[in-house]
Amino acid sequence: MNRLNAIDTFAEQSWDEFVIEVEDALMIESGEELGPDHMHDIAAAYDAGLSPWSCVIAMLDSNPQLRQRAA
């Protein structure tokens, strides 16, 4: 899978831009730093065309540990 090219979404972000925005949003919402265990979720969100904030919300909803830190 090649993530070097921008995808056609409303944001038209490159992979790097998307990861940076997800990292910032995750830090704001939960205080958690982005780790290698999050990359699968981020890749799935990027491929689905989600926004970075939607990605973080989905990550928080699916991971009880992150959700507790955000509360």
What is the DSSP secondary-structure string of the chain? Answer: ---SSPPSSSS---HHHHHHHHHHHHHHHH-PPP-GGGHHHHHHHHHHT--HHHHHHHHHHH-HHHHHHH-
* pTM tops 0.85, yes or no: no
**pLDDT reported for residue 32:** 87
Average pLDDT, the chain: 80
Res. 18: pLDDT tops 90: yes
Burial (Cβ within 10 Å: 0-12, 13-18, ≥19) of residue 60: buried
> What pLDDT digit, counting tens, does each position of 42-53 carry?
999 998 889 999
pLDDT band at 69 (very low <50, low <70, confident <90, very high): low
Give CA–CA dist 32/41, Å, rounded.
15
